[in-house]
């Protein structure tokens, strides 16, 4: 069976119900339920929702920088700190510097979905592997160069690693 409860404001309410047996006689026990009622959010704000991340930052780590610091305004005008957990950006590429617009999904919200821009910074090399080759005296330059690798690994700021072609 279902019941409708009216007049409950945001917060927690206790509802006491009488339980009936299959033969419609009243059971010996009362059942109480704790119900949490959330008012609808009418506005979500954050002073600066946009962030910059290092080259190679995973989507999950980028999202973690977007979640906190929001203020929710509820029907009736009350406000409180709010964390938005659900964000997505279909085209986010941690290894392509640029701006990516993330859109939030917020339950119980009547406004336009919040958005924030995540800027992936250009990769900056912090260190790279050292390559040493020893060739006999008198080796021609072309033979000496042929002993060098065609690719080298580098560690970037933010600890992403990349392999670069050597020309």
- Residues 75 and 40: their CA atoms lie apart, in Å, by 6
Non-local (6+) Cβ contacts of 83 within 8 A are 67, 68, 70
Q: What is the structure's pLDDT at 22?
A: 74
Q: What 3-state DSSP class applies to 36?
A: strand
Q: What is the structure's pLDDT at 38?
A: 67
Non-local (6+) Cβ contacts of 33 within 8 A are 14, 15, 17
Q: What is the structure's pLDDT at 161?
A: 87
Q: What is the structure's pLDDT at 39?
A: 78
Distances in Å between the alpha carbon of 11 and those of 14, 37, 73?
Answer: 10, 5, 15
The bridge status of strand 125-128 relative to strand 115-120 is unpaired
- Residues 54 and 94: their CA atoms lie apart, in Å, by 8
Q: What is the structure's pLDDT at 111?
A: 86
Q: How confident is the prediction along the chain (167 residues), in pLDDT tens digits per residue?
A: 455 555 555 565 666 666 777 777 776 666 666 666 667 899 999 988 999 999 999 999 999 999 999 999 988 888 999 999 999 999 999 999 999 999 999 988 888 999 999 999 998 889 989 988 899 999 999 999 889 999 999 998 888 888 989 88
DSSP state of 164: E
């Amino acid at each position: 069976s279902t019941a409708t409860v009216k007049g409950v404001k945001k917060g927690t309410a206790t509802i006491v119900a009488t339980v009936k047996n299959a033969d419609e006689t009243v059971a010996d026990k009362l059942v109480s339920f704790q119900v949490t009622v959330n008012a609808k959010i009418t506005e979500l704000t954050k002073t600066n929702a946009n962030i910059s991340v290092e080259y190679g930052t995973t989507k999950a780590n980028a999202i973690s920088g977007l979640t906190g610091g929001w203020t929710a305004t509820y029907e009736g005008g009350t406000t409180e700190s709010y964390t938005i957990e659900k964000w997505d950006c279909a085209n986010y590429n941690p290894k392509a510097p640029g701006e990516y617009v993330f859109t939030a999904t917020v339950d119980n919200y009547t406004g336009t979905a919040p958005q924030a821009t995540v800027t992936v910074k250009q990769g900056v090399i912090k260190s790279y592997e050292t390559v040493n080759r020893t060739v006999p005296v008198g080796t021609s330059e072309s033979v000496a160069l042929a002993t060098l690798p065609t690719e080298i690994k580098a560690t970037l700021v933010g600890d992403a690693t990349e392999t670069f072609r050597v020309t």
